[in-house]
Structure 1
Amino acid sequence: MRSIPLLNVDATTVFDDVAAAKHLQRRRRMHDARTNVLAAYQEYIEAVPEVGGLAKAVLTDQQKEAMQHAFSVETAPMAALRQKLLKRTCVARCPFCGISESSTLDHYLPKEQYPEFSIFPNNLVPCCAVCNTRKRDRILDEDTNVRMFLHPCYDAIAVLEFLSVRTRVEADALVISYRLVQPEGMADLTFQHLSSHFKELDLADRYRRMGLEHLGGQYPALRRAYGVGQHAERVAEKLIEGAEDFEEISGVNYWLAKLYRALAANVDFCAGGFEAVRPQPV
């Protein structure tokens, strides 16, 4: 759940280059759709971030197929756009979840419903395969008519703390639970978007599982900090230092930063309870 910059590329040029690289029949269909597609691009830009209710462009079935084909069956210009979108360092980690590598492109407005945005760079979000699969072709919640997912390029969430973590050591196991808390100053609609995004991408459980896996790798360092003198305060200091490093790079709501701060405040964990994350021999 983090913002990413838009790719600095001209969408009209992308459209023209991809169309020119298609075979004659689809090239003609894209050319005939060009005016309506570019008009849809402008409507998208004017509506962001609330693009979920955009009217669909008037396209024939053949033009819709040509637009979808432009993304699905790559030409050299489309391959170049994909490379530019995915290879930026700022999007190496999935902006939807903040966990995994960005290895796919998600159509924020699904190409099946909005084929006009199939190759629109602003609608293509680098993300991990898990988030892409979970998001699927959904846009608006059927009950509330609210967007179900944040748009990483346009939803600018203020620097307010909304992610919370609870931890406890129980029967030689570390129990971690993530949840969202609406901070003072955050609009209700923004929190609705955030809550839906968090729920639909199953971030609470994914953060929990990845947190436990991550801590297993930190076990030797925690054990050294504790030492033979059983210095719980050194463990807490190390965790706070790690949290500050994460916050400096990824913000106060980064899931690992929150986990480190919660563990630093957990007396049981710092006083030897970290043995619960000790990796088991394979």
Structure 2
Amino acid sequence: MWSVKSPSFESGATFDLCADRIKSAVLRAKMKGIRQEIVDLSTEYDAYAKLGKLYLIETHKKGIGAVEGADLIKNYTGRMVGKKMPARAIYDALKILPRHDRCPFCQYGTIETLDHVLPKESYPGLSVAPKNLVGSCNRCNKGKHAAVPTGPKDCAVHPYFDEVDDQRWLIAEIVETTPAAALFSVGITPGFHSNLRARVLHQFDALDLAQLYSNVATEEIAGIAEELEEVFQAGGFADVAAHLERKCRSRLKSGGNSWQAALYEAMASSSWYCKGGFRTS
């Protein structure tokens, strides 16, 4: 999970771009009539997001004021996502905010869509709130489903508001099999307050990141085997460990909790692996 620079788009202006495209004069007038409520809701969202307390925002599936929830959702599905819509420029700008075109929720998939941190089905008034929209891969977008947070421990980690990069919490363990494998988990980090760790753990489990990382680690382990054999033949166990430590340091530059950094750290720390466990047969 990576942090992402928060967007500067204003919720009211974004809402206006969508509302102005409504063909029905009656619905357009109703939509414009709740503009201040939408702005106030977005302000409330920002305040709670900074505290990690988005669960305190009330759901409003049926809508806001005279506007039904389904019509609010269409601001996103029909008036923002549409390629010829004025608000599409904001959609595209939000998609490119995450670093290296990588999904901030898993740090593996490429950006393919926008994820609603609070699902639009339950919070239609936030359907086009820029700070509720985060670039995501399809896997994570679908994995989050339309889950509504119920308390401080299952509130999604928010890339725009939660700083999780400054603490190393992703750890890996080498499984001594042939070929070797790796298991990933969320470690105990003194710098995290209990609720933030619980939220990281909840999202880690909800997105099944342990399985994802183990799967991609299998490819990494197989791909580096021949390289490590050459290092081993030239300098033995110590050189293999040093080589893996260098790779770990290199991966850490792209993020403290990259799965590659965790994997290489685990490899370097395993004497079994460095003494020949890297061999695939």
Same fold (TM over 0.5): yes
Structure 1 Cα separation of the partners of residues 100 and 71 of structure 2? 29
C-alpha separation in 1, matches of 2:225 and 2:111: 27
What does residue 85 of structure 2 align with?
76
Higher mean Cα deviation, 181-190 or 131-140? 181-190
Alignment match, 2:96: 87
Contact 2:185 2:210 in 1 (8 A): yes
Aligned to 2:268: 264
After superposing the two structures, state which structure 1 stretch, 23-32 or 172-181, moved more.
23-32
In structure 2, what residue type is equivalent to 1:82?
Y
Moved more, 177-186 or 99-108: 177-186
Structure 1 residue corresponding to 2:117, chosen from 98, 108, 126:
108
Q: What TM-score do the two structures reach when normalised by structure 2?
A: 0.88
- Within a 5 Å distance, the mapping from 1:21-36 to structure 2 comes to 21-25=21-25, 26-36=27-37
- Which of 250, 253, 270 is equivalent to 1:248? 253
Count of residue pairs brought into register by the alignment? 272
1:192 aligned partner: 198
RCO higher in structure (CA 8 A, sep ≥6): 2
How many Å separate the matches in 2 of 1:224 and 1:98? Answer: 30
- Superposed CA deviations along residues 146-183 of structure 1, whole A, max 9, x for unmatched, are 3342111111237233222111322x221311122222
| Equivalent residue number for residue 149 of structure 1 | 156
Q: Structure 1 residue 207: deviation in Å? A: 0.9
Distance 1:188 1:56, change over 3 A: same
- Give, as a single letter, the amino acid of the residue that structure 2 aligns with 1:131: C
Match status 1:162 vs 2:169: yes
Which residue does 2:8 correspond to in 1? Answer: 8
Q: Does 1:177 align with 2:177?
A: no
Cα separation, 2, equivalents of 1:42 and 1:88: 21
Query: C-alpha offsets along residues 180-216 of structure 1, whole Å, 9 cap, x if unaligned?
Result: 2222242111111111111111111111111112233
Match of 1:203?
A: 209
5+ unaligned residues in a row in structure 1: which ranges? none
Residue in structure 1 matching 2:69, options 51, 57, 64? 64
Residue 173 of structure 1 aligns to a residue whose secondary structure is coil
Distance 1:231 1:255 in 2: 26
Is the 2:149–2:155 contact (alpha carbons within 8 Å) kept by the matching residues of 1?
A: yes
The AA in structure 1 aligned to 2:180 is L
2:225 to 219, 229, 240: 219
Range 24-33 or range 118-127, more displaced: 24-33
Identity %: 24
Q: CA RMSD in A?
A: 2.2
In 1, are the aligned partners of 2:114 and 2:134 still within 8 Å (CA)?
yes
Q: Do the aligned partners of residues 60 and 271 (structure 1) sit closer, same or farther apart at CA in structure 2, a change above 3 Å counting?
A: same
- Given residue 22 of structure 2, which amino acid in structure 1 is its aligned partner? K
Residue 33 of structure 1: CA displacement? 2.0
Asked if structure 2 preserves the Cα contact closer than 8 Å seen for 1:167 and 1:177, the reply is: yes
Contact 2:113–2:138 (CA under 8 A) maintained in structure 1: yes
| Counterpart-to-counterpart distance in 2, 1:23 and 1:61 | 17
Gaps of 5+ in 2: none
Partner of 1:275: 279
**Closer, same or farther in 2 for the Cα pair 1:88/1:140, shift >3 Å?**
closer
Contact 1:95 1:126 in 2 (8 A): yes
CA distance in 2, matches of 1:159, 1:88: 19
Distance 2:91 2:75 in 1: 12
CA displacement at 1:91 relative to structure 2: 6.0
TM-score, length of structure 1 as denominator length: 0.88
Aligned mates of 1:24, 1:43 — CA distance in 2? 29
